[in-house]
Amino acid sequence: MLTLRTANRVLKVLKTTQICKQPFHRWLAPTLRELKRRKDSLGPDKPVHRKTFLEWNYDTEVYAFSKRLGEEFNNDLLQQALTERSYIIREEERQKNVGIEQPTLNLFDNKELVSKGSDFIDDVVKRYLRTVLPRLPEEGIIGIHKYLTSIETLSHVSFHIGTSELILCAEFPVEKLTLSNVLKSITAALVESSGDSRAALFVRDFIITQIADKDLHQFWEPEEPIKLLSEILARDGIQSPEPRLIGSSGKNTILACFRVGLYTPHNKQMIGLGFGETVDIAHEMAARDSLRKLFGTSDNILLPFNLKLDQLCESNVKNLFVNEWSQKILPTRPMHYELRMAKETCSN
Amino acid sequence: MSSSRFTPRGFPRVPLQNGIGRYICQLKRVTLRFCKSSGSSRGIRDFIETDLISYAQEHPGTAVYLKPRRHKSPSFVAEYLNGEREVISCHNFTAQEMIKWLNLYTTRSGIPLMRYAKMWHTDCPSIQGVWSPFTNKDPALNITQFPSKELSKPVWEEKSATEELLEMINKQKISDENDDDTQKVQAAQM
């Protein structure tokens, strides 16, 4: 009995040493590796539209879109604003291919709304800029306006309020031009559903706020500031300003820095201060600085984003152009801080 | 907690100047994925039964989808206006935990988590303007005659032992006088 048991035990040990028990699936890693290799060889996945997902309800999304903006839209108009001509053409083609003779879609494209919205945005943006920056020459207003209504800016805004998935258009991914057009048409739809003042608030909150943390001088800067400054001062009867070197450090080194101040000759008032690595650059910077002071666009300017449509100036008034700019004939408009104060007292 | 090796580093940012004009909730879509029978989905089912309607009413700008999936661990997918998508596992969550996590992801901006290099950031306007060697320079230097005796001195001079001793003696004198004074006052009171 005992011998039998020991013999059994010995046999068991022999069995385990002879047959190698695999502790894991030896085939798994190579298979996964091969699958990954094949997937990689196909290249990256093409982006797919969100509507191909199972959890997608277009009506819900459009409802959420209007609620997100906090606006009351006419549903038909909103749908029209989101529909591009290319989509209608493609759908009609599709129906014809299936065999429908006269395809009916009951969809209207947003072409009219786009032009209408574009005009409205242009008008509100220009009026806002002229109200807030009454001393800035018209060239500057045009420069900032051009930035705010560029395809880049409008498409950025349009994407970030969530239109990219709701637009009905033929191309995918949606082009920037389409995105900006849809933003314009949404504005027009808002004008028709809730009125001008509501739509102006929409433009203010989403488009005009894009200049909130931007340097205003990147949009427009005079090319020859020294010449321009003396011309402007001459119109006011002041002789051309006198530059004085009021500081220098690290002369004849690569870290040289000069500081130049501009003084009016008749009453010795400093009108501008600039620094640079050479005296000429510092002089030019000082001229730029004094122009900024004249135009009311200093570096630390804070624009008010609480103006309503009725607080803006009329659309036919314009700022002065550079070649006629003079402090004597500046337009008189309510300054923005007065407007802000008025609003604060109203709310209190 | 936040190691620079794994977490990207950056400054606080906000999409689309959100809040300067008006605030818009950045969560555009949320999909709750759960199982109708398994125990790990218990909390999310409770949440759907009791609190989902009020959540949807409070956040009309967020599209809510329910996606029952047999024998799958529960999770929810948050999709943001900037195109980011996050999947959050809700395995064995209670309904209360569900509310808290959903609230967190509703109030987020959608920008991926990062380690903040600073808690504030401005591109423009700069607070002090562009720096030059003359920024914050004392205006008294404009009328100083050079070489100036005051400015030629070392910034910090160590006291000699004699000076320190003299100072100590002076201090002692003052304290002795004070003691005398207090004694006089006490005597007067007596």
Quote the percentage of chain B above a pLDDT of 70.
96
pLDDT in tens, B111-141: 998 889 899 887 776 767 788 888 888 888 8
Chain A stretch 308-327, residues whose beta carbon is closer than 8 A to a beta carbon of chain B: none
**pLDDT at B58 (0 to 100):** 95
- On whether residue B136 sits in a domain, the answer given is no
Q: What is the ipTM of this complex?
A: 0.81
Q: What is the token pair recorded at B101?
A: 């996590």
- Radius of gyration, alpha carbons of chain B: 34
Whether B40 is covered by a domain: the verdict is: yes
Q: B131 in a domain, yes or no?
A: no
Q: Taking 60 as the threshold, does the pLDDT of residue B143 lie above it? A: yes
Say how many domains are in chain B: 2
Q: Which of B116, B134, B167 is the last residue of a domain?
A: B116
Question: A323: burial class by Cβ within 10 Å (0-12, 13-18, 19+)?
Answer: exposed
Residues of B in contact with A210 (CB under 8 A): 17
What per-residue confidence (pLDDT) applies to A127?
94
Residue A214 near residue A146, CB atoms below 8 Å: no
| B6–chain A nearest CA distance, Å | 24
For residues B175 and B83, state if they share a domain.
no
Side-chain-side CA neighbours of residue A112 (13 Å): 6
- Quick one: pLDDT band at residue B150, thresholds 50, 70, 90? confident
Judged by CB atoms closer than 8 Å, whether chains meet at A249 and B133 is answered as: yes
Residue B126 within any structural domain of the chain: no
Domain final residue pick, B61, B85, B116: B116
The answer to whether residue A209 neighbours chain B at the CB level (below 8 Å) is yes
**Closest by alpha carbon to A255, among A269, A237, A225, A275?**
A275
State the pairing for strand pair B27-34/B85-89: unpaired
For residue B44, the domain's CATH number is 3.40.30.10
* Residue B180 structural domain: 158-189
Q: Is residue B132 part of a domain?
A: no
How, if at all, do strands A270-276 and A257-263 pair?
antiparallel
B176, B89: one domain? no
Pairing of β B9-10 and β B115-116: parallel
pLDDT of residue B146: 86
**Of B89, B116, B143, which one is at a domain's C-terminal end?**
B116
Burial of A190 (0-12, 13-18, 19+ CB in 10 A): buried
Per-residue pLDDT of chain A (348 residues; tens, 9 = 90+): 556 676 666 556 555 555 566 677 889 999 999 999 999 999 998 889 999 999 999 999 999 999 999 999 999 999 999 999 999 999 999 999 998 888 788 889 999 999 999 999 999 999 999 999 989 999 999 999 999 999 999 999 999 999 999 999 999 899 999 999 999 999 999 999 999 999 999 999 999 999 988 889 999 989 999 999 999 999 988 888 999 998 888 899 999 999 999 999 988 899 999 999 999 999 999 999 999 999 988 877 888 888 888 888 888 888 889 888 888 888 777 665 565 555 555 554
- Residue entry with tokens 């620079």: B4
The answer to whether residue B143 is domain-embedded is no
Contact assessment for residue A309 and residue A197, using Cβ atoms and an 8 Å cutoff: yes
Residue B65: in which H helix or E strand, if any? Answer: strand B63-68
Query: Can you tell me the distance from the alpha carbon of A281 to that of A276, in angstroms, rounded to the nearest whole number?
Result: 5
CB A241, CB A271: distance < 8 Å: yes
Question: What per-residue confidence (pLDDT) applies to A339?
Answer: 58
In order of A125, A132, B161, the CA distances from A308 in angstroms are: 12, 12, 73
The answer to whether residue A173 neighbours chain B at the CB level (below 8 Å) is: no
Residue B63 lies in a domain: yes
Q: How many Cβ atoms sit within 10 Å of the Cβ of residue B121?
A: 13
The per-residue pLDDT for B182 is 74
Does one domain contain both B162 and B109?
A: no
pLDDT cut 90: percent of chain B above it: 56
- Distance in Å, alpha carbon of B157 to nearest chain A alpha carbon: 28
Determine, yes or no, domain membership for B138.
no
Query: pLDDT digits over B60-104, tens only?
Result: 999 999 999 999 999 999 999 999 999 999 999 999 999 999 999
From chain B, the residues in CB contact with A275 under 8 A are: 132, 134
| Pair of tokens at residue B48 | 């759907």
What three-state secondary structure class fits A245? strand
Chain B contacts in chain A segment 35-64 (CB below 8 A)? 54-55, 57, 60-61, 63-64
In this complex, how many residue pairs, one in chain A and one in chain B, have their CB atoms less than 8 Å apart?
Answer: 87
Residue type, A82: L
pTM of the predicted model as reported, rounded to 2 decimal places: 0.82
Residues in a beta bridge with A168: A83
Query: Average pLDDT over chain B, rounded to whole?
Result: 89
Q: Which helix (H) or strand (E) holds A145?
A: helix A138-148
Looking at the structure, do residues B97 and B31 belong to the same domain, yes or no? yes
